[in-house]
Structure 1
Amino acid sequence: MKTGYKKEGMDVMKNISYVLLITLILSIIIVNFDSKEQKVIKYFPFDESKEFTETSTNLKLLTEMDEDSYKIQWDIYSQLTEPVYLRQDISLLFVDGKLKGILNQWKEEANALTQKTVVNGEDSSHYEAITFHHGEVHYPDDVIKSIQDMTYDELYVIDSPHAPLESFKEPVEKNEKEWEQTLDHAKNQTLNYYWNELMNYYDLSAKDFLEIPLVNLWKYKNNSFPTLTNEQTRQVIGQLWEGLYKNYVTGIPSHNDHEFKAINTYMPIILVDHKGEFIFVLFKDPSGQHHRLIQRIPDFS
């Protein structure tokens, strides 16, 4: 099935397969792809006879390394009742609005996938991870169907010289609520400036779109986009991840036949047309070049 996805000014992408671990100061950036990394996530009609029995994304503060750094554990898990032709999980970790890690695993004839890694962090920060869980099911006569789910987790880490290291997911105490407000304000101020600049560059008006930060896409697995039903939205989201994987997760193609890694770039903004005709995904590559992915929403009438 064609998804109607295209990349403006994009040349043919190159295959990449790597396990990358970069240490910058005290912050570890993780890009982890299987050695047989698959270049494409492909949307197929949903298989209503299959379902995930469990899916999860989890962020947890492990320990303080020294006075200036600490460790965060990042876990991904998904399971089906029985093996299917292809299983794949992709997880993106954002820290204060910047992409700091990618976990990607796929297996043939598998039902369960597990990924675990440890990230070094420093300073008070807001960690957010979103995961796309995917399965491809093959039947006789070349019939192919798919299943999908999304999970999310967040963690606030407070690293203050005036108090012990602490973390929380939902603020309870007064000081936690104050830290949540402080970190969210700083992150949102930066991201809103970044997204507004992108929208101005492409001459887009906020009133015409539903704006969804990439980490919030999981909220629409049970909610619908404008003019669409929940089932139609689920299809469009599956096609959206197909485009994100090809044009963002595995590398950002540029106009001069160079491919950038998305690591250390700010979070993309997803713009869903209120008329239900198309979706834009806006972001910049590390060189500052603007990128717009365009996804045509199928005519479901």
Structure 2
Amino acid sequence: MYRKNLFISLLIIAVALFTLMLPFLLSDRAAITYFPDNPRIRFTKSDTHLSIMTDEQLLHLSVQSQTIETNQLIQNFSLLYRNNRLIAILNHWQRNTNQLISARDARIRSGFYNALTVHQAELHINSDIYGKERLSQDYLIVSASGRHAFRHPKTPDEANQLSSHTRQIDLERKQLLGRAAAHYHFSPDHYRIVSLDMLTDESKTRIFPFFNEKTVERIVGQLWEGLYKNFIRGIQLTEGQSESPLGSTVPLLLIADDHMLVIIESSDHHLIMLKQNFT
């Protein structure tokens, strides 16, 4: 009888705790999800900024989003790369607001840093959900001492540092493309090839010139949704084996008229290829 009463008491406590936690569980909204656009969603700010805090020896990533009117949700989702390899992920969201400020720190090391952000706002009208994405990014070259950083070189030494990082990253991307082409049996000559960090709000209509602006918005939104679901949550190598996305390369986008291939190399040098159909 004692055990039975103890079991019932523990069950009641567990149910009560779950009930208290339920709102938090239901409010967990980590994924990037594409929704069709609505003209009422208008961003007034979408900004990504990198800086160094020399006293603390930290690299500081700050992200801001702001819209004209309050939305049901605003989300900042950023990927931070160093020398073409993912070192940190920032995923911050808030409900019923028109602005969101997010931040993430990482230990300073010398190298070429690049932060890519998708800013997303959701608007619910009756039973319909609408969305809009804006892209922003920033880059920073940190010197070997870790106490100096620049974006645009002002001295011959800074120009040499930038050139060295650029050459190394370009070489790694060419080698990755060659490995992927041999492994997956495709010809790179059949594609327009850009890296994810080249995809910006200003460049996306040039990268996808064969579609109207509305279709380009959908393609880019679905690209980020696919990256999150198939990559950021964990790289699925086999049915029972996955790998952390940290340490993976900046995705390469191979664009054809009716589809796009996304090529990534994991930290353990596994090749991953995703395919996105445009229709």
Do the two structures share a fold, i.e. TM-score over 0.5? yes
Partner Cα distance (2:159, 2:271) in 1? 35
Aligned to 2:176: 194
Question: Do structure 1's residue 128 and structure 2's residue 114 form an aligned pair?
Answer: yes
Judging changes above 3 Å, is the alpha-carbon distance between structure 1 residues 289 and 158 closer, same or farther for their aligned structure 2 residues?
A: closer
Greater gyration radius: 2
Pick from 87, 95, 100: which aligns with 1:100? 87
Question: Do structure 1's residue 285 and structure 2's residue 266 form an aligned pair?
Answer: yes
Partner Cα distance (2:69, 2:108) in 1? 37
User: How many Å apart are 1:222 and its aligned residue?
Assistant: 4.9
Question: Do structure 1's residue 77 and structure 2's residue 60 form an aligned pair?
Answer: no
Partner Cα distance (1:35, 1:181) in 2? 48
Question: Do structure 1's residue 248 and structure 2's residue 231 form an aligned pair?
Answer: yes
Aligned to 1:204: 186
Identify the range of structure 1 (177-186 vs 227-236) with the bigger mean alpha-carbon deviation: 227-236
User: How many Å apart are 1:226 and its aligned residue?
Assistant: 4.2
1:163-202 map, 5 Å: 165-202=147-184
Where does structure 1 lack aligned partners over 5 or more consecutive residues?
1-33
**Identity value in percent:** 25
Judging changes above 3 Å, is the alpha-carbon distance between structure 1 residues 187 and 40 closer, same or farther for their aligned structure 2 residues?
A: same
Amino acid at match of 2:151: K
Aligned to 1:16: none
- 1:181-235 alpha-carbon deviations (Å, 9 max, x no partner): 1121122222321232122211222221111212222253453414212332121
Aligned to 2:245: 262
Q: Secondary structure at the match of 1:243?
A: helix
The one of the two structures with greater contact order (alpha-carbon pairs below 8 A, sep at least 6) is 1
Partner Cα distance (1:36, 1:199) in 2? 42
- 1:78-115 alpha-carbon deviations (Å, 9 max, x no partner): 11122211221110001000000100012221221111
Partner Cα distance (1:270, 1:230) in 2? 19
Task: Report if the CA contact (8 A) 1:224-1:233 is conserved.
Answer: no
Judging changes above 3 Å, is the alpha-carbon distance between structure 1 residues 157 and 64 closer, same or farther for their aligned structure 2 residues?
A: farther
Aligned to 1:7: none
Task: Report if the CA contact (8 A) 2:41-2:121 is conserved.
Answer: no
Where does structure 2 lack aligned partners over 5 or more consecutive residues?
1-24
Partner Cα distance (2:30, 2:148) in 1? 39
- 1:123-167 alpha-carbon deviations (Å, 9 max, x no partner): x30000010001111102x2221111000100011125xxx9321
Task: Report if the CA contact (8 A) 1:150-1:221 is conserved.
Answer: no
Pick from 33, 43, 46: which aligns with 1:55? 46
Task: Report if the CA contact (8 A) 1:155-1:168 is conserved.
Answer: yes
Aligned to 1:146: 131
Aligned to 1:109: 96
Identify the range of structure 1 (214-223 vs 258-267) with the bigger mean alpha-carbon deviation: 214-223
Query: With structure 1 as the length reference, what TM-score do the two structures score?
Result: 0.78
Amino acid at match of 2:129: I
Q: Counting helix residues as a fraction of each chain, which structure ranks higher?
A: 2
Query: With structure 2 as the length reference, what TM-score do the two structures score?
Result: 0.84
Q: Secondary structure at the match of 1:254?
A: strand
Partner Cα distance (2:215, 2:43) in 1? 19
User: How many Å apart are 1:38 and its aligned residue?
Assistant: 2.5
Partner Cα distance (2:150, 2:69) in 1? 35
Aligned to 1:271: 254
Q: How many residues get paired? A: 254
Aligned to 1:230: 213
Q: Where in structure 1 do 4 or more consecutive aligned residues deviate above 6 Å?
A: none
- 1:35-92 alpha-carbon deviations (Å, 9 max, x no partner): 9643532212111122111111000122055xxxx32111111111222112211100
